[in-house]
Amino acid sequence: MNPGDGIAFCGRGYVQLTGRANYRKATQRLRALGLLVAGQDLETNPDLAMHPDVAAAILFIGTREGWFTGKKLADYLGGGKADWKGARRIINGQDRAGEIALHAQAFAAALKKAGYAPGAVTTKIPVPPVTTASVPPLIAPAPRRSADPEPPDTDGVTASPGGLVAWLKTRFFKKAA
């Protein structure tokens, strides 16, 4: 681990992929499957893990192959198994396993009602490679303060003489003489 890796490789995507080694592993595996092209690299562009198609690929392939905890989807579901609560171990131990199991069962029931055929096999899901444009931050960075800040724009709000806005301006935005 290098200094700054904790921030650089913080949790992103649907499963909150973390750590430089996991970003590298995801890049290699997704490239091998043709889901990322040579110029797309999660290690050099970690925000790529937040693109919905990449996040979904990490989720599906990672759960199928046991990337996150060593437990695989097939350990709990399919082939006559339906351990909805135990399946939580695939990603995150047993945290809120009962609640998540109920959501999963409801989702499975909705799929069945919509015509999904249990046991149907999909050999390949076509997913085009994603673009490498960076994802904008979820929260804009705070503006930096200058040595001599200007009074903030009050968006047309006027303060009466002696009002709170006027008082704040005199206390916090004094101009140098």
Q: Which tokens in the block code for residue 22?
A: 């996991």
Q: pTM higher than 0.75 for the full model?
A: no
Which whole-number Å values give the CA distances from 143 to 43, 140, 155, 169, 171, in the listed order? 28, 9, 18, 19, 21
Residue type, 102: L
By CB atoms closer than 10 A (0-12, 13-18, 19+), residue 73 is middle
Q: Using a pLDDT cut of 70, give the percent of the chain over it.
A: 66
pLDDT, position 146? 57
Q: Is 17 helix (H, G, I), strand (E, B) or coil?
A: strand
pLDDT value at residue 157: 46
3-state secondary structure of 21: helix
Give the pLDDT confidence score for residue 90 in this predicted structure. 93
pLDDT digits (tens, 9 = 90+) for 82-105: 999 999 999 888 889 999 999 999
pLDDT at 65: 95
pLDDT in tens, 47-63: 999 999 999 999 999 99
Whether 31 contacts 38, CB under 8 Å:
yes
CA distances (Å), origin 15, targets 58, 59, 145: 8, 6, 36
Which DSSP state fits 75?
Answer: G
Residues with Cβ within 8 Å of 47's Cβ and at least 6 positions away in sequence, in order, are: 12, 134, 135
Residue 146: HSE in the Cβ half-sphere, 13 Å Cα cutoff? 7
Rounded CA-CA distance 12/4 in Å is 16
